[in-house]
A and B are shown apart, each in its own frame.
Chain A
Amino acid sequence: MTVILDGISVRQRGETWLDDINLELPDGMTTVLGPMTAGKTTLMRVVGGLLTPGAGRVLVNGKDVTRISVRKRSVAFVYQQFINYPSLTVYENIASPLRLDPRHRRDGVDRRVREVAELMGLTGLLGRRPAELSGGQQQRTAIARALARPVDVLLLDEPLANLDFKLREQLRADLKSMFADSSGVVLYSTADPNEALTFAAPTVVLGEGRVRHVGDVAAMYDHPPTLAVAATLSDPPLNLLPGVVQDGRIEVLGASFPAPRAHASGRTVLLGVRPHQVTIAGGGPGALELPAEIRLAEVTGSATFLHLLLQGGRHLVAQLAGTRQFTPGERTVAYVDPAHVFVFDEDGGRLLATSAAEVDLHG
């Protein structure tokens, strides 16, 4: 089973929602990662057949299904909102897609409903209506509805986004094991890079309606090919600092480190640093030393986010472990190990080098 998207474009009300998307989605799970308004939902709707693209084709197993109505396609969809039939019980909700599917045998419905309910931990709740369930249980029901019927394409559009933190963690773990042995194409969209990293599936990074990058998510995290991909994959957001190449070294706000690759002197570059790579405890030999003023400390429990003002009015966020107390206005020094600095070209278009491995993905 493969789904191929061939030059898909969607324009609505003068805005481009998807711009020339070319993708090949193999059997198994694929994650679609992107910020809000990146076009994730539009992409899902095109693949599912809920939206006919302005240009391009959708091929399922080599067959063009672009203009085939969603009713005749073999798809299932799980929404960010918890969508169930309000007047039906959980049992009836899970059974409804099976009953309406002419290919499914009538006598197998009950067995299949109980099987899926068991899988999603809904066995004790089969007699209840959606309004009598918690948010997590409602979404489990919606997922069970989608899983009940074997389909060619299963689409999950940010299914965990509206759940609270603990339920999200739990359901994420359940889903990972569930999709490991599912047949058919599973497309899972999320705005949360941690979710994409957890699933460790082939990942499509979307941004502003375009495909930014496709590949293994962990490799992408370590060597983001462009600034956009690095930013999408960084939560908390990536710190950006300006740098200049000078005699084989890169100078940044008064500090400098050896340039990982040979570049012409005078070239300006953009440096990306993830907040957890910034410390104030003193760096090892060769660490960049950046004098800073403390502006704000946000304590989340497991981490403290320290907002720093560097020279030239630049901001830097450091993620420090544990709860820490700081006084705003105090001066300190931020240390960054050059091994964890991404060097992008000036407009952020492409990664020149990660200091650590000196890869240049674009040759």
Chain B
Amino acid sequence: MRLARAARRKGPGVSEESAPRAGGEVAVAEAPAEDERRPVLKRKDNRAWWLVLPVVVSVAFTAVIPLMTVVNFSVQDVFGPNDRVFVGLEWFRSVARDPEVRAALVRTLLFSAQVLLLEIPLGVALAVCMPRRGVQVSVALVLVALPLLIPWNVVGTIWQIFARGDIGLGGWTINNVLGVNFNYTLDSTDAWITVLVMDVWHWTPLVALLAYAGLRSIPEPYFQAAQIDGASAWSTFRHIQLPRLRGVLTIAILLRFMDSFMIYTEPFVVTGGGPGNATSFLSILLSKIAVGQFDLGPAGAFSLLYFLIVQILCYVFFTVLTRSGR
């Protein structure tokens, strides 16, 4: 769902770019006919525009108009349905200066960084350990993919119960078997760890599946050649498997960054952003302002800034990852 939303947001840019090109191509195709001086063919044909119309309409309805509504709110102070004042960039300034928003941004960035640092190596390690042939392949694939099939709020509920000290298997074990005092509803570190471990459990399989697909595409002779040279398992990984995983890892990093940076459902279900503000990520704070307090102006400005940060960071990631390959 979140991904689909992100893709749709990119929609308008894509359609605006492709529309004139489609019209232009028709004109170019007719150019050679000019020599023959046939008046019928000289007329410029713009019928191709009709072909892009469905895309323009659907993108406008699902992405452009809602986004513009948000832009509209972000520059106004709304007192009532017919009582609003234009305030310019005032909301943007106040949101950018808000210490609560800044703290949530730092928290979210830290969370995303930890998610990437844990899930990417773990996912690759898992993929390397998965069997390469036989019936075990299907078994391993199903087992690994299982967490991906569970809806987000169910994952949240599972972990909310699992991590509880009194009735949850995980929380009880930590408290009573390991003898560590663990309570995610009171201790902010425990809450953070719970949300982080939950995300790792939920999404490492995605990285593992992508990496596994990448590993499977490496021809067998590469491994034989390494064997003949007497290369160790580590150098086989370092010099054969890792270089050939670059493409899928770029995608995995982008997907996991975007998703973890926009995480909402699971912490909302497990901790509700607490205790205190410990797990109050940008999305949770945003929904509190927009839905809880119904401050449409600040919420609109917040949304646009949030959107912008995601776009910029994705661009930076993509550029860095694709450049370093050369």
**Contact surface of A with B, Cβ cutoff 8 Å:** 45, 48, 50, 70-71, 75-77, 79, 81, 83, 85-88, 96-97, 100-101
- Which residue of B219, B225, B239, B243 contacts A77 across the interface (Cβ within 8 Å)? B225
Query: Is A97's CB under 8 angstroms from B219's CB?
Result: no
| B residues 213-245 touching A (CB-CB < 8 Å) | 219, 221-222, 224-225, 227-231, 238-240, 242-244
Which residue of B is nearest A49, CB measured? B228
Q: List 30 A-B contacts (CB under 8 A).
A: A45-B224, A48-B228, A50-B224, A50-B228, A70-B224, A70-B227, A71-B228, A71-B230, A75-B228, A77-B225, A77-B228, A79-B224, A81-B219, A81-B221, A83-B219, A83-B222, A85-B239, A85-B243, A86-B239, A86-B240, A86-B243, A86-B244, A87-B239, A87-B242, A88-B239, A96-B231, A97-B228, A97-B229, A100-B230, A100-B231
Closest Cβ–Cβ distance, residue B187 to chain A (whole Å): 44
Nearest Cβ in chain B — how far from A158, in angstroms? 12
Interface size class of B (residues with CB under 8 A): 10 to 19
Complex alpha-carbon distance, A81 and B231, angstroms: 20
Residues of B within 8 A of A (CB): 219, 221-222, 224-225, 227-231, 238-240, 242-244
CB distance from A248 to the nearest CB of B (A): 56
What is the minimal beta-carbon distance from B257 to any residue of chain A, in angstroms?
A: 24
Q: How far is the CA of A87 from the CA of B225 in the complex (A)?
A: 15
A81 vs B225: C-alpha distance when bound (angstroms): 11
Q: Closest CB of chain B to A96's CB: distance in Å?
A: 6
CB distance from B313 to the nearest CB of A (A): 27
Residues of A within 8 A of B231 (CB): 96, 100
The closest CB in chain A to the CB of B244 belongs to A86
Shortest C-beta distance, A47 to chain B (Å), equals 12
- What are the residues of chain A within 8 A of B228 when measuring CB–CB? 48, 50, 70-71, 75-77, 97
Q: Which residue of A lies closest to B325 (CB)?
A: A131
Say how far A189's CB is from chain B's closest CB, in angstroms.
14
In the assembled complex, which residues on chain A have CB atoms less than 8 Å from the CB atom of B229? 96-97, 100
Q: How far is the CA of A87 from the CA of B325 in the complex (A)?
A: 10
Q: Which residue of A lies closest to B222 (CB)?
A: A83
A sample of 14 more A-B contacts (CB under 8 A), given A50-B227, A83-B222, is A48-B228, A70-B224, A71-B227, A71-B228, A76-B228, A83-B219, A83-B225, A85-B239, A85-B240, A86-B244, A87-B238, A87-B243, A97-B228, A100-B230
In the complex, what distance in Å separates the CA atom of A101 from the CA atom of B219? 24
A50 vs B225: C-alpha distance in the bound complex, in angstroms?
Answer: 10
List, in ascending order, chain B residues with CB within 8 A of A71's CB: 227-228, 230
Q: Would you give the shortest CB distance from B66 to chain A, in whole angstroms?
A: 44
Cα of A45 to Cα of B225 in the assembled complex, Å: 11
A155 vs B187: C-alpha distance when bound (angstroms): 64
CB distance from A44 to the nearest CB of B (A): 11
* Set of chain B residues within 8 Å of A100, measured between Cβ atoms: 229-231
Query: A77-B228, A96-B231 are contacts. A83–B221 as well, Cβ < 8 Å?
Result: yes
Contact A79 B225, beta carbon cutoff 8 Å:
yes
Instruction: Give the most central of B225, B227, B228: most A CB within 10 Å.
Output: B228
A48: min CB distance to chain B, Å: 7
Chain B residues with Cβ under 8 A from A87's Cβ? 238-239, 242-243
Distance, CA A48 to CA B224, complexed state (A): 10
B residues near A81, Cβ cutoff 8 Å = 219, 221
Shortest beta-carbon distance, A73 to chain B, in Å? 8
Task: Tell me how far the C-beta of A157 lies from the nearest C-beta in chain B, rounded to whole angstroms.
Answer: 9
Bound together, the chains give a CA A100 to CA B229 distance in angstroms of: 7
Contact A79 B239 (CB under 8 A): no
Q: A86-B244, A88-B239 are in contact. Are A101 and B230 (CB under 8 A)?
A: yes
- Residues in B neighbouring A75, C-beta threshold 8 A: 228
Give the Cβ gap from A100 to chain B, nearest Cβ, in Å: 5
Q: What residues of chain B lie closer than 8 Å to A79, measured between beta carbons?
A: 221, 224-225
Residues of A within 8 A of B221 (CB): 79, 81, 83
Q: Which 4 pairs of residues, A with B, have the shortest CB-CB distance? A: A87-B243, A86-B243, A85-B239, A79-B221
Q: In whole angstroms, how far apart are the Cα atoms of A279 and B242 in the complex?
A: 59
Given the complex of chains A and B, what is the CA–CA distance between A96 and B239 in angstroms? Answer: 11
Closest to A78 in B: B225
Contacts of A76 in B (CB 8 A): 228
* Cα of A86 to Cα of B325 in the assembled complex, Å: 11
The distance in angstroms between the C-alpha atoms of A87 and B237, with both chains bound, is: 11
Identify the closest chain A residue to B218 (Cβ). Answer: A86
A residues less than 8 Å from B240 (CB atoms):
85-86
